[in-house]
Chain A
Amino acid sequence: EPEVTQTPSHQVTQMGQEVILRCVPISNHLYFYWYRQILGQKVEFLVSFYNNEISEKSEIFDDQFSVERPDGSNFTLKIRSTKLEDSAMYFCASSDTGGRQPQHFGDGTRLSIL
């Protein structure tokens, strides 16, 4: 069964450094998402992406965050200058026709900011 893959599984970074989280969505999917889950808290929406542009973003997704689909298979989340509070699990998801079809999630990248 097709799946969403994320790399790396764990990223440790010094505060203030840039980090790029990578995702390969399911191949025929058109809608891409990033969510995060701080330890012990809810899964929270960050951003949705369709047709090479952001379609929605949350208040969390400020100027320090950016997303890109650099080629036909990858979808990345960049955090420019990491803060301690960026420590969380980051999940990538994709769906084929948008919200009317369910989103499928990867296993996440655990980001630890020191």
Chain B
Amino acid sequence: QKEVEQDPGPLSVPEGAIVSLNCTYSNSAFQYFMWYRQYSRKGPELLMYTYSSGNKEDGRFTAQVDKSSKYISLFIRDSQPSDSATYLCAIFMEYGNKLVFGAGTILRVKS
């Protein structure tokens, strides 16, 4: 079983839609959860960071963690064409001192 699973998409939505991006993970020892956005030929850019179950909101972005189900989500409200990018979930493994990434979901927001 893969440590972090993420549907690669692509996901295509109209401008203004609510987008839901999801990852599942297998190791209950994972404690810190991140979402990165990656534009073509650029590095991962941190969007959200959380370490507890529940929701964390930042502008149009909401990160949700359900540790009991080992499930994390990123919601984007009022999506814009500029949100078109690859979204990576990443989970920090403390005992390995490393991030484990999902495959990334390609998002296209059509104007």
Contacts and interface: CB of A to CB of B under 8 A. Distances in A.
B61 interface: no
B29 to A, nearest CB: 12
Nearest to A43: B101
B99 A45 contact: yes
A99 B103 contact: no
A48 B46 contact: no
Given A91-B43, A102-B49, A43 B98 contact: no
A35 interface: yes
Interface string A81-114: 0000000000101000011101111111010000
Interface residues of B, number: 25
Given A99-B32, A102-B49, A43 B97 contact: no
Main secondary structure of the interface of B (DSSP, over half): strand
Interface string A36-58: 00000111110010100001101
Interface string B84-111: 0000101011101111111110000000
B44 A43 contact: yes
Contacts of A48: 97-98
Main secondary structure of the interface of A (DSSP, over half): strand
B44 to A, nearest CB: 5
Contacts of B104: 42-43
Contacts of B92: 99-100
A35 B44 CA distance: 11
A75 interface: no
Contacts of B94: 99-100
B97 A105 contact: no
Interface of A: 4, 6, 31, 33, 35, 41-45, 48, 50, 55-56, 58, 91, 93, 98-100, 102-108, 110
